[in-house]
Structure 1
Amino acid sequence: MALRSYSPSVENYRSVLITCACLTTWTVFRCSAILPTCVELIRQLLHTPHSMKYMLGVCSQYTQNPTPNPISLGSTQATDKVEETQTPFGYDCSNIWIRNPKSTTGIYTIKPTGANSTIQVFCEMNDDGGWTLIQKHDGQDNLPFDRSWYDYKQGFGNISGEHWLGLDNIYLLTNQEKRISELRVSLGDFAGSEAFAGYSTFNIDPESKFYKLSLGNYSGNAGDAFRGQCSATNQDGSLFSTKDKDNDNCDACRVGDMAFRSCSNDQFKSGWWFNSCGIADLNGQWRTNGEHIGWASAVSWKTWRTLESLKFSKMSVRHN
């Protein structure tokens, strides 16, 4: 029997959400992580298969975009308070897409394997799977990226707009047991051109190892700026640096007659995986059209646009 379309009234909106939250927890984790309040509900549905089938259909229709309002990260002002006990829809956006390929792009609650709490993320649901957005920088929110180690660790910005997901969250996403993560870097310039760089594997170490970057094989049309043009600009294997925690390899780097010791604080004004220093920095200062040429601190991917600060950058992770 085909499932009919379900249009809940305002009165039972909360009831439907609670039921779908319970069902999501049960279908993802089975009994290992089910909330105590859901036990009786799931028991009743298991004893009435038609009700179970119907409610699974309802939830599939009704929770495509479970958190439509903007969610903020870290030290920026939040538009909504996020409960850490919110029921996750999957381990990551790829897991959500696998379970329901009709899932729509938007904000979801996830819980990577090994994580102790849930994470709010923006999922880009495409024909090739679900991608978890970890960085977006396009100037639309005037979000500063010249921030402290703590901010980069925790994350900052608006998940539905400009943001950095947070190094701790990126570590959890890219170090899930039996889940391989790959990276896609999406770029655009002010002339309207777009390009991408893909890496077959992508993961970072924990904070105790300064979030060291590890990349797999490159593909794409933007060039492999992460690996640079020589050993000094190869950022694969680099530690993360911020203006207040210098982990780069600049004992005394030079640009012309100017010498400096910190790529993050003295040159690029951003947090990033700097070597000495490198030709990729997607967290540099965003520049307006017409004022975007020739800056040291810029949204940079110099194997594609050597002198330009880019109009936008996005970093997304997909899991296999």
Structure 2
Amino acid sequence: MTTRRTLLGAGLATPFILSSMAHAQGSSQTGGEAYPNQPIRLVCPYPPGATSDNVTRVMARALSARLGQTVVVDNRAGAGGAVGTRHVADSRADGYTLLTASGGNLLISPYLSDVGYDPLRSLAPVAMAGEAYSLVGISAALPVKTLPELIAYAKQHQGELNYASSGIGSTGHLRGALLAEAAGFEAVHIPFPGSAAAVNSVLAGDCQILIDPVVAPHVQGGKIRPLAVVGTGRWEDFPDVPNVTELGIGQEWPSSGWYSLFAPAGVPQSVIARLNAAYNDALADPEIALALRRLGLKPEPVEPGQLRQRLAREYAASGVTLQRLRITA
């Protein structure tokens, strides 16, 4: 039997029920105010010690402070960054599994093998940590002090020099091949499982050349000699080192390099916006910006749409370059 008390109770409960339903619907469809309500995994597709790993750890701490949730770094290396990238692409599109991406795993690896993801469709651009600089570094035992001297030496010793990289399909692999092509010499590519192993090979004298930001501290320590900077303009930490473009090389190279944040395709736009705002806010923090600059980055806040356009443009350019250089896995 329906009583006056039953009707009164139902009437009082109705606004609460409707409000709860609306909140649940908003959270499930857009990420809403509930995001984030659990720890976030930030995947680095390269091993510890690589520049990608260092950038990931800096930004994980920055995001944790701004999102109010722990951001855990998850290193999933392998196949030139493809293993970790595919893991994120295949993850649930809820914003709790994210990726630190760079040129190697998005612009190069997909052309060299069946990586299991499409960089333009399987991932959602979120934010950019910044433009990345690299140094053309050489073994201190090599009897050259400038890039023109290296080119002349390499031409006199065709095929005798080794250039290291963080793996087949890495940015360092492509840049080494581009340098050899532009300068007209032959060198042997030696891939390693990550930048840390690659720089150790140069320190040991097994390889003579490495184009990577990871050489920077070894340059400052006098163990590796810097010949040129790859990136936009000069690297402020090495103001006396010329850019390769000043030496007539690299103007047509497909990408200056960058590190960015991506999510699985299909993540709600409200979540993308929340992450982008937190990431860009971190870049405005002087301490975080300084930490990134020390890693060879020039912090650059961008919107997701800008990053999507840049990815599409540079992905197409990388494909043309790889075909011309006949680089294969």
Q: Answer whether TM exceeds 0.5 for this pair.
A: no
TM-score under structure 1 length normalisation: 0.26
TM-score of the aligned structures, taking structure 2 as reference length: 0.26
**Larger RCO (CA under 8 A, 6+ residues apart):** 2
From the two aligned structures, give the one with the greater strand fraction: 1
